[in-house]
Chain A
Amino acid sequence: MEKTLDLKFNYTEKKDTRSGFGDGFLEAGRRNPNVVGLCADLIGSLKMGAFQKEFPERFFQTGIAEANMMGIAAGMTINGKIPYTGTFANFSTGRVYDQIRQSIAYSGKNVKICASHAGLTLGEDGATHQILEDLGMMKMLPHMTVINPCDYNQTKAATIAIAEYEGPVYLRFGRPSWPIFTDPAQKFEIGKAWKMIEGTDVTIFATGHLVWEAVVAEAILRSEGISAEVINIHTIKPLDEEAILDSVAKTGCAVSAEEHQYNGGLGDSVAQTLARNNPAPMEYVGVDDSFGESGTPTQLLEKYGLNAANIVAAAKKVLARK
């Protein structure tokens, strides 16, 4: 389908966003001697090996003990270290929620919680590992910044940028090989939404892997005479409310798209912004209160209603409500 469409963004290569993290982490370590790493027995999966090799004195294997890892990271910030913790998104959030809440968020510690294998696109491992609640859990914590970049390049840029920001950050990325369609030289600005495609009829607010699906959806909608605006919300918190309100003031309706539960995700953040400022029709593309299952990423996005075709359908539905 993608090949026959006139896409506003294209790609020549696919790569996993976790590799963007791994490469960004190494770069952050080269730029700042205070950057340290911790990993709970998933160095290969998180692509943290290059950093470990280059900076062995600044890297700590914690074993399969995520709660302890979060506490150690919090302790390391006290004399100015900038710890990056690495494990799967599931074990980076739900498993250690109280540790993050008390020792990191409430204590205002400069820990970077780096979470891979988020969402359905983890694939065959199934629902035990496919966390779809993490954005909600993390954005509810005061002081926490929540970032969900869309491709290899944006993940790499975000990983480097968070070292420059003082405060706790949740950085979410994933496992599947995914189109690389953003600029390798981009500057990542935390909290600043990126209007990728201008449009007038409907705004699609997308985050993470679903930004690519939104790009594809825009081309489909355009081929049918519908002008969609695509906004990349890589930072869920703090939310760029101005970008959301400006766009919806123009288009009059919105679709959110994310690899997360309806409850608590980007969609809820957008809806809250609209409800409080400029109520407008809105549709959600996400997982509707269910767990995932085993399958390929493509199969899962289709079965759970998270691909470009679902974004197109949601856009048409919301347009009819205008």
Chain B
Amino acid sequence: MEKQSIEQLENTALQVRRDILRMVHGVQSGHPGASLGCTEFFVALYFNRLNHNSNFKMEGKGEDLFFLSNGHISPVWYSVLSRSGYFPPKEMDTFRKLNSRLQGHPATEEGLPGIRIASGSLGQGMSVAIGAAQAKKIDGDDSTVYVLMGDGEQEEGQIWEAAMYAAHWKVDNLIATIDLNRQQIDGPTKEIMNLIDLRAKYESFGWEVVDTLQGNDMKSVLEGLEKAKNLTREGKPVMNLLHTEMGYGVNFMVGTHKWHGIAPSDEQLEDALGQLPETIGDF
């Protein structure tokens, strides 16, 4: 797949945001907030940074691999997978419905192309990504493994087992990203469980840390990913702290945890879609 320019990526992101809202609205269920907040990241990854093949093969030899640990933001992933050719966009219409391959949280059970592990129960994805990265090293495969986690998810203990392990084993073909939107279901992370300084935490665990300060600016996201990539293969795992706004792109959803797992009504959808022009074509 050809790498999209910033202008093309921004157009794609508009469509992805529409897809997210229409999927969640269609079934009145799902997680729009962090899906919208991570749209630039997903679009930048799948349409520019990742060396991947939409003719899906589980083993992904010679390809960069992406794992989603915070599986509840499945709408953004499904949209990006579909828009990059893994399955027909029309299938987004089945999201969270009976007999669908687009499960509420990503799964391999129904064989949806692009998904390599089930996720949703938090804290597990980074371990899986590390395993995949080490397997690539055993095989002399020089591609990169990516994983995205939530910031609230950092409260899970397994994350820190994995963080210790990745540095100890010098898993330097791994780029982990944390969606730093500072929100979790019950409220701001600062109030629920203060994460304090994730950069200091990961640095002290032996990681290289990059900050992407404008996680909803395509140029900034691309630069962050490039900077992270340049730090790989230097003996340390790499962490990309992606500062985003939950609900970005829709004025009444932005910056609050309230849209973590709530679907828009008919009127709210109309209002939101009015802010996001159709670019590629709705499913």
Contacts and interface: CB of A to CB of B under 8 A. Distances in A.
B60 A102 contact: no
A63 B128 contact: no
Nearest to B58: A78
Given A65-B161, A102-B121, A106-B107, A75 B141 contact: no
B128 A71 contact: yes
Contacts of B123: 67
B213 interface: no
B165 A63 contact: yes
A67 B60 CA distance: 25
A76 B134 contact: yes
A74 interface: yes
20 contacts: A67-B161, A68-B127, A68-B162, A71-B125, A71-B130, A71-B158, A72-B127, A72-B165, A73-B131, A76-B132, A78-B117, A79-B61, A98-B121, A98-B124, A99-B124, A99-B158, A103-B117, A103-B127, A103-B128, A107-B109
B124 A102 contact: yes
B119 A75 contact: no
A71 B65 CA distance: 16
Contacts of B133: 75
B168 interface: yes
A129 interface: no
Given A58-B138, A65-B164, A68-B161, A102 B120 contact: yes
Given A78-B58, A81-B138, A106-B118, A65 B107 contact: no
Contacts of A80: 59, 135
B165 A68 contact: yes
Contact of B117 (A63, A67, A81, A107): A107
B48 interface: no
Contacts of A63: 161, 164-165, 168
Interface residues of A, number: 32
A78 B158 contact: no
B127 A70 contact: yes
A74 B128 CA distance: 6
A65 B130 CA distance: 14
A194 interface: no
A78 B134 contact: no
B165 A75 contact: no
Given A103-B117, A103-B124, A107-B118, A75 B139 contact: no
A99 B138 CA distance: 24
Given A75-B129, A78-B65, A101-B121, 17 more contacts: A60-B169, A63-B164, A67-B161, A68-B130, A71-B126, A72-B130, A78-B128, A79-B61, A79-B135, A81-B135, A83-B131, A99-B158, A103-B118, A106-B109, A106-B118, A107-B107, A109-B117
A81 B121 CA distance: 24
Interface residues of B, number: 40
B101 interface: no
B62 to A, nearest CB: 10
Interface in A87-123: 98-99, 101-103, 106-109
B108 interface: yes
A81 B134 CA distance: 10
Contacts of A76: 131-132, 134-135
A107 B120 CA distance: 12
Interface in B109-157: 109, 116-121, 123-136, 138-139, 141, 157
B138 A57 contact: yes
Given A36-B138, A79-B139, A72 B164 contact: no
Given A78-B59, A79-B141, A65 B118 contact: no
